Amino acid sequence: MAMSLSIAASGKGGVGKSTLCALLVRYFIEMGKKPVLAVDGDPNSSLGALLGMEPERKIGDLREDINDPANTPSGVPKARVLEGKLNEIIQEGRGFDLLTMGRGEGPGCYCYVNDLLRQFLSRLKKSYSVVVIDNEAGMEHLSRLTTDNVDCLIVVSEPTTPSVRTAERILELADSLPAKIGRKAMVFNKVRNSRVADIVLERAQNLPVSANIQLSHSPELEELGERGGSVFELPGKLEDNPQLTRIVEWCLDGDNH
C-alpha cells in the first residue's frame, strides 16, 4: 500500500473541530479512499459518537496499565504486551477504524511507554489510506504520540477574535513541534453574514497558511450535535457540499496516494 495521507485538526473547544473530522472520515470513505483511521486525540473524546461509536477503552488507560508490573506477564516483553492491548482497543467501523487516545499522563513516568506508542502508531498508520487526527487545542497527542509526519494541519476556528487568537497560538506551536508538518489551512466554521465576521476573516488573511476556507453555519449539523447523532445519518453525498469538497481537495493537493 502507498503511504497514507495524514490529516490533523486542532482548534479552540466548541468550534466544530470534531464534527469536521467526522465529516472528513465519511467523505474519504465515500470517495473510496479506505480504510480510514480516525484518531480521537481530544480528551473530550467526542469523535467516536459523531462516527456512531462509543469508545470502550482508551490509550490513556493502557498507559497506566502497562506501567503496572502486575499487568505484565513474567518473561513477556512490555512492547509485545502493549501492542497486543492496542490491537484490542482499535474499534472497527464500516470503512474506518477508531482509535481513542483519552486523557494525558498521570503522575508516573510514561516516557518508555510513550515511545512504544509512537512506534506502534507509526506502523499502524501505514495500513490506512487516510489518517484523520482530532486534536485538542494544545495538540498534546500530536506532539507526543504521532511525531513522524503530518501532511495537512487544519486549524478550525469560528469567525470571532478569541477563536482566531487560539488559532494563532496553535500555528505557532505547530512550528515548534518535532513533527514534520506539511501544509497548513485555516477553516472558519459556522460562518454567518455579519460585520464582525467580515472583520475577523479579513484579519485572518495574514495568517501563515496556504488556504483560508469557510464553512457556513449548518442547522442540520447543529441539530445533529445537540442530539448526539452520527454524521453517517446525514442524507445525500458529502461531495455535494462545495465548501467541504474544497477542504478535501486541499488535503489531496499534490497527493499521489
Total tally of structural domains belonging to the chain: 1
Q: Is residue 120 part of a domain?
A: no
Q: What is the pLDDT of residue 180?
A: 82
Q: Is residue 119 part of a domain?
A: no
Q: Is residue 221 part of a domain?
A: yes
The answer on pLDDT for 108 being more than 60 is no
Q: Is residue 61 part of a domain?
A: no
Per-residue pLDDT of 74-103, as tens digits, reads 777 877 877 787 888 889 999 999 988 776
The answer on pLDDT for 225 being more than 80 is yes
Q: Is residue 29 part of a domain?
A: yes
- Position 188 confidence tier, pLDDT thresholds 50, 70, 90: very high
Q: Is residue 175 part of a domain?
A: yes
Q: Is residue 165 part of a domain?
A: yes
What domain range is 230 assigned to? 5-56+127-252
- Position 257 confidence tier, pLDDT thresholds 50, 70, 90: very low
Q: Is residue 12 part of a domain?
A: yes
The answer on pLDDT for 104 being more than 60 is no
The residues, ordered by sequence, that sit 6+ positions from 197 with a Cβ below 8 Å of its Cβ are 159, 191
CATH number of the domain within which 206 lies: 3.40.50.300
